[in-house]
């Protein structure tokens, strides 16, 4: 059986078994599907094509007896001459004295090693007697631990393949193999470990890439279906007339993209299924307006709505703007960690008694003592900052509201359909009209005075600026010290007529609120701040964003910060002060200066950082694929997704014998359900 313990393979036991366990190889199947992480391809090329310092493979005839010299403690050097294409090549082999006996004049040998083009010399790392068989050999390289060597592992895999091959079953339907021209599972498996040539290997990888994607997408689609079915009976009968009247009184008309996404969300709310939707839109694309309309929808349906945001500043800001926007239409309260004592008690009672329609707050609004009378809709802003835990808490409270996640970190499509494959996705892909592109510059520290003068000049035009402080990663305290220092420095630099403000996470919430209010009212012209203003903060009159130590931020975060400006029809500027040391850092600065488009940027970010890092480790929810690469293989991913959708839609897993093996694998989906919710 494939799930026999690995030590049932001949030659596997004792310490070797332990070492394999350290690699998470416990069963025969684990071993068979332990794929190489890389392949070395040795290919014989004409001498003139060899590149200096590259690892190369050559084949030739030995023309002199090798000479061996010893030096140091047990060190040796073996030198011999080789004729390749009528040229004499010197071969040097270190610390393999035994090779002297194996290599004799007139032998044909194949050598791999580092090429020195100036001396026509190869430093051999690998040699083989005889000619290279097919002028290309592909060596799989496995990740190793303990005493496991590549050779030992290959031996064990070879045995396992010999003894268990007949048990490796196909799981993909025959018709799929045919139409995608994929090798069958066993052939592909053998090729992964013992590839004969590149073409074969390519197809084997293509097969496992598709298999991994399809399995994953099937799980996602099943989950989505289960979630939908589990939440039947949740239709919200909102009042369209009232919504229209509400929208009419906005100071602007909705963009086509806002309208489209709004329709999608409202349809979800009206449907009997619980909504599980992600709303993506670049910073400033107007998600908050859409959110407000949806919240009003819930209110007109006689239920309560909640808007959950990641920071207190943002909660307060939303509270103010929504209170103004809603007027008498809804009773709105603010519930954050700093609402305490009697006030908190009153608010909690009102929420429970249903005299409150909309609650805006940080995660404080999902704490144990908060009971909603009838929660119809929850909107989670900047959802990537929320832990999976917090999202679950809400649902564990016996509440089954429609849930809308909003994010301004545009998630590349590849990630969206993997990490969020079980969600529906709406995208606002259009900016309100009249916006100008933010001009972004990359400046060195020694140009700082000019930057500060530039700010001063814009202030004379009535505009305002953010200055984001240098970042010290390990320490919140030092960050604040930096902010204070910079604040004092700018105060000294500017005339008294220019008011400099200071904002950081340790300020009391009253103080924060006060600073933000004064900045919004243009009583403060320059706001020195830590990254607490990163998300959502909306002061349209601010047109300059200066970011210190910009090289320490990821692209998405820089884009978020930049999104604090460019929120009106005035020309805005973003100045990145950075002295990046590495290439990645420089590349980031270049990308920032070249693109304003959040989606393009996040695709680049994904490439620079890799999928695991994109959301931060903890809550990534991005699966680790063995063979597949979400970025390179995105076409296969798209194919797998639409195949999975079709399979689930027509219920092929239950109805079609061809899918029986796939179904067997997928029964474990229940556990996944718990993990992902």
Site string for ligand ADP, 248-267 (x = CB under 6 A): ----x-xx--x---------
Element (H, E) at 87: strand 87-94
Minimum CB distance to ligand ADP, residue 288 (Å): 3
In the bound state with ligand ADP, the residue whose beta carbon lies nearer, of 251 and 495, is: 251
Q: Is the sign of the CA dihedral 605, 611, 616, 621 positive or negative?
A: positive
> Do the bridges between strand 402-407 and strand 375-381 make them parallel or antiparallel, or are there none, so unpaired?
parallel
Minimum Å distance from CB 249 to Mg ion? 20
Q: Does 288 bind ligand ADP (CB under 6 A)?
A: yes
Using rule CB under 6 A, residue 283 touches ligand ADP? yes
**Number of chain positions touching Mg ion (CB under 5 A):** 2
Provide the b/e sequence for 578-609 (b: ≥16 CB within 10 Å): bebeeeebeebbebbeebbebbebbbbbbeee
User: Strand pairing of 358-361 and 332-335?
Assistant: parallel
Give the C-alpha separation, 183 to 178, whole Å: 9
Distance CA 242, CA 289 (A): 15
CB-nearer residue toward ligand ADP: 434 or 496: 434
Binding window for Mg ion (CB under 5 A); candidates: 77-85, 340-348, 495-503, 534-542:
534-542
419 alpha-carbon distance from chain centroid: 8
**Cα separation, 534 vs 563, whole angstroms:** 8
| Pick 289 or 574: Cβ nearer Mg ion | 289
Nearest approach, Cβ of residue 217 and ligand ADP (Å): 29
The answer to whether residues 580 and 551 touch, using CB atoms and an 8 Å cutoff, is yes
Distance in Å, CB of 370 to ligand ADP, minimum: 25
Q: Which of residues 546-575 bind ligand ADP (CB under 6 A)?
A: 567
Residue 247 engages ligand ADP in binding (rule: CB under 6 A): no
Q: Which residue is nearest to ligand ADP (CB)?
A: 286
Contact window for ligand ADP (CB under 6 A) among 64-72, 142-150, 276-284, 654-662: 276-284
Q: In angstroms, what is the minimal distance from the CB of 381 to Mg ion?
A: 6
> ∠ CA 333-385-320 to the nearest 5 degrees?
25
Binding mask 351-390 for ligand ADP (x = CB under 6 A): ----------------------------------------
Q: Which residues lie below 8 Å from residue 572, measured CB to CB, with a gap of 6+?
A: 436, 438, 439, 542, 543, 544, 545, 565, 566
Calculate the alpha carbon distances from 173 to 203, 274, 648 in Å.
17, 33, 14
Contact residue for ligand ADP among 219, 287, 562, 641 (CB under 6 A): 287
501 near Mg ion, rule: CB under 5 A: no
144 binds, among ligand ADP, Mg ion, none (CB under 5 to 8 A by kind): none
Q: Which of 140, 173, 286, 566 binds ligand ADP (CB under 6 A)?
A: 286
Told to check if 536 binds Mg ion by CB under 5 A, we report: yes
Q: Which does 540 bind (CB under 5 to 8 A by kind): Mg ion, ligand ADP, none?
A: ligand ADP
Alpha helices in 461-578 (DSSP H): 476-493, 509-520, 555-562
**Binding to ligand ADP by residue 410, rule CB under 6 A?**
no
Residues 131, 302, 337, 540: which binds ligand ADP (CB under 6 A)? 540
Alpha-carbon gap, residue 662 to 439, rounded angstroms: 52
Tokens found for residue 337 = 């960690």
Residue 185 binding ligand ADP, by CB under 6 A = no
Q: With binding defined as CB under 6 A, does residue 535 bind ligand ADP?
A: no
Q: Which of residues 274-293 bind Mg ion (CB under 5 A)?
A: 288
Choose the stretch contacting ligand ADP; rule: CB under 6 A; options: 37-45, 74-82, 215-223, 287-295.
287-295
Residue 293 touching ligand ADP (CB under 6 A):
no
Residue whose CB is less far from ligand ADP, 284 or 376 = 284
Q: What percent helix, strand, coil does the chain show, rounded to 5?
A: 45, 20, 35
Q: State the binding partner of 505 from ligand ADP, Mg ion, none, CB within 5 to 8 A by kind.
A: none
| Extended beta strands in 446-588, E state | 464-468, 500-503, 526-529, 542-547, 573-577
| Identity of the residue, 315 or 591, whose beta carbon is nearer to Mg ion in the bound complex | 315
- Cβ 564 to ligand ADP, closest distance in Å? 10
What is the length of the chain? 677
Please classify residue 324 by burial: count the beta carbons closer than 10 Å to its beta carbon, then call 0-12 exposed, 13-18 middle and 19+ buried. Answer: exposed
- Judged by the rule CB under 5 A, the positions of this chain that interact with Mg ion are 288, 536
- Judged by the rule CB under 6 A, the positions of this chain that interact with ligand ADP are 252, 254-255, 258, 281, 283-289, 408, 432, 538, 540, 567
């Amino acid at each position: 059986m494939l799930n026999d313990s690995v030590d049932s393979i001949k030659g596997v036991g004792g310490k070797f078994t332990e070492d394999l366990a350290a690699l998470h190889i416990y069963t025969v199947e684990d071993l068979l599907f332990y794929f190489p992480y890389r392949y070395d391809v040795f290919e014989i090329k004409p001498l003139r094509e060899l590149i200096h310092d590259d690892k190369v493979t050559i084949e030739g005839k030995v023309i002199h007896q090798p000479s061996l010299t010893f030096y140091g403690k047990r060190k040796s050097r073996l030198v011999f001459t080789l004729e390749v294409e009528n040229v004499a090549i010197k071969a040097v082999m270190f610390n393999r004295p035994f090779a002297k006996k194996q290599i004799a004049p007139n032998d044909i040998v194949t050598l791999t090693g580092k090429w020195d083009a100036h001396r026509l010399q190869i430093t051999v790392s690998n040699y083989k007697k005889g000619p290279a068989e097919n002028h290309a050999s592909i060596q799989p390289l496995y990740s190793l631990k303990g005493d496991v060597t590549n050779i030992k592992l290959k031996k064990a895999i070879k045995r396992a393949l010999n003894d268990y091959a007949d048990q490796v079953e196909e799981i993909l339907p025959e018709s799929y193999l045919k139409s995608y021209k994929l090798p069958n599972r066993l052939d592909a498996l053998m090729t992964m470990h013992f590839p004969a040539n590149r073409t074969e290997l390519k197809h084997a990888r293509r097969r496992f890439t598709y298999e991994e994607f399809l399995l994953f997408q099937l799980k996602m689609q099943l989950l989505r279906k289960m979630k939908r079915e589990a939440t039947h009976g949740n239709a919200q009968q909102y009042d369209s007339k009232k919504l229209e009247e509400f929208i009419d009184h906005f100071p602007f008309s909705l963009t086509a993209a806002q309208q489209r996404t709004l329709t999608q969300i409202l349809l979800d709310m009206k449907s009997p299924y619980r909504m599980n939707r992600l709303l993506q839109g670049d910073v400033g694309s107007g998600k908050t307006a859409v959110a407000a309309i949806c919240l009003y929808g819930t209110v007109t349906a006689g239920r309560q709505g909640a808007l959950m945001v990641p920071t207190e500043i943002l909660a307060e800001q939303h509270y103010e703007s929504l209170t103004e926007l809603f007027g008498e239409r809804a009773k709105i309260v603010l519930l954050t960690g700093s609402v305490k004592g009697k006030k908190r008690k009153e608010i909690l009672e009102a929420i429970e008694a249903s005299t409150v329609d909309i609650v805006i707050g940080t995660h404080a609004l999902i704490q144990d003592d908060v009971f909603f009378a009838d929660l119809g809709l929850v909107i989670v802003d900047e959802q990537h900052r929320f832990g999976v835990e917090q999202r679950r808490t809400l649902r564990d409270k016996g509440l089954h509201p429609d849930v809308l996640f909003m994010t301004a970190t545009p998630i590349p499509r590849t990630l969206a359909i993997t990490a969020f494959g079980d969600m529906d996705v709406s995208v606002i892909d259009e900016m309100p009209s009249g916006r100008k592109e933010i001009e972004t510059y990359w400046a060195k520290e020694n140009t700082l005075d000019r930057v500060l003068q530039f700010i001063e000049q814009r202030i004379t035009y009535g505009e305002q600026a953010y200055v984001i402080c240098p970042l010290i990663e390990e320490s919140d305290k030092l960050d604040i010290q930096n902010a204070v220092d910079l604040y004092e420095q700018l105060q000294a630099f500017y005339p008294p007529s220019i008011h400099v403000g200071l904002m950081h996470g340790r300020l009391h919430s009253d103080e924060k609120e006060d600073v933000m209010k004064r900045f919004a009212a243009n009583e403060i012209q320059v706001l020195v701040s830590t990254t607490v203003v990163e998300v959502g903060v909306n002061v349209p009159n601010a047109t300059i964003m200066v970011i210190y130590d910009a090289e320490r931020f990821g692209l998405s975060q820089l884009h978020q910060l930049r999104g604090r400006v460019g929120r009106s029809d005035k020309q805005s500027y973003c100045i990145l002060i950075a002295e990046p040391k590495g290439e990645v850092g420089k590349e980031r600065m270049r990308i920032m200066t070249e693109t304003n488009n959040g989606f393009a940027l996040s695709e680049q970010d994904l490439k620079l950082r890799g999928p695991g890092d994109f959301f931060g480790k903890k809550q990534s929810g991005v699966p680790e694929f063995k063979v597949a690469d979400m970025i390179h293989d995105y076409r296969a991913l798209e194919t797998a997704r639409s195949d999975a959708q079709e399979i689930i839609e027509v219920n092929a897993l239950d109805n079609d014998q061809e899918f029986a093996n796939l179904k067997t694998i997928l029964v474990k989906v229940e556990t996944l359900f718990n993990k992902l919710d």
